[in-house]
Amino acid sequence: METPQRPEPGPAPLTVPPPADRSLAGRTALVTGAASGIGQACAQALAAAGAHVYVVDKAADAAKELAERIGGTAWVVDLSVPEAVDSLPDDADLVVNNAGLQHVAPVHEFPPDRFALIHRVMVEAPFRILRRTLPGMYERGWGRVVNISSVHGLRASPYKSAYVSAKHALEGLSKVVALEAAPHGVTSNCVNPGYVRTPLVENQIAAQARTHGITEEEVVGKVMLERSAIKHLIEPEDVAGAVLWLCGPGTSHITGTSLSMDGGWTAN
């Protein structure tokens, strides 16, 4: 009797690459601050997954250019103006509250109008967008709210009173929405990055280098990422990956959470 031949060891069988994730086909996403940085990466990722994206930003040219590139619709609005926010479409299935800005000054020197502006854009606008889009999500029985918070939604740093308090408020709004929306198939979560390589941060790096009289490399390694175990800036696409995952299949029980992606900052 012949001994069965063992198959020759050879290259692993070729696997067919999975089809591009089109799990959001037929959905509509509204992304604020989508003309730059994290918002832009989110808009691109959601569009690649099949969603029609409303590209919301005050930067008209960049918003229009991106909308054209990803087959979305540009909405040029200043989110600090309540009436403008209330003119945005209310039929989104996914909302990514992302637009934000920073101002760095000690509390006793912080300009009150700047404080109010930061809260209008980063807290009131998300509230106004959600109060108009949630009813449609409830009607359709499905929705995803992702709030781009920050490590500063969970921790404080000096000189960022408006930003830190706005992000903490956004965390609270996100949790309230999670509780109210749960019976309707709608989840609400925060994503909490550490420092991400975007124009917002690149401007801060330059400003801090001037203020402290140190190099930009020293600002990143020794000042910004002092509390982070990983000493590299996060890329916007990594944040978009987390947002896409929260909007994709298998996430219906993830709600009211804050997903830290901070290189170990909050573990420290």
Q: Is 163 a catalytic site residue?
A: yes
Q: Which is nearer to ligand NAD, 28 or 36 (CB)?
A: 36
Computed from CA positions of residues 157, 159, 165, 167, in that sequence, does the dihedral angle turn out positive or negative? negative
Least separation in angstroms between residue 180's CB and ligand NAD is 23
Least separation in angstroms between residue 200's CB and ligand NAD is 3
Least separation in angstroms between residue 121's CB and ligand NAD is 4
- Integer Cα distance of 252 and 132 in angstroms: 22
Q: Which residues share a beta bridge with 234?
A: 196
Q: Which is nearer to ligand NAD, 8 or 83 (CB)?
A: 83
Least separation in angstroms between residue 202's CB and ligand NAD is 8
Whether 120 and 84 have beta carbons less than 8 Å apart is answered as no
Q: Which is nearer to ligand NAD, 101 or 104 (CB)?
A: 101
- Of 54, 138, 163, 195, the active-site residue reads 163
At 261, phi and psi to the nearest 5? -135, 75
What is the contact surface with ligand NAD in residues (CB under 6 A)?
A: 33, 35-39, 57-59, 78-80, 98-101, 121, 148, 150, 193, 195-196, 198-201
Q: Which of 174, 178, 124 is nearest to 147 (CA)?
A: 174
- DSSP helix, strand, coil percent of the chain (3-state; round to 5): 45, 15, 40
Q: Which is nearer to ligand NAD, 23 or 165 (CB)?
A: 165
Long-range CB pairs of 163-168 (<8 Å, 24+ gap) are 163/100, 163/102, 163/103, 163/118, 163/122, 165/119, 166/100, 166/118, 166/119, 166/122, 166/123, 167/122
Provide the annotated active-site residues: 163
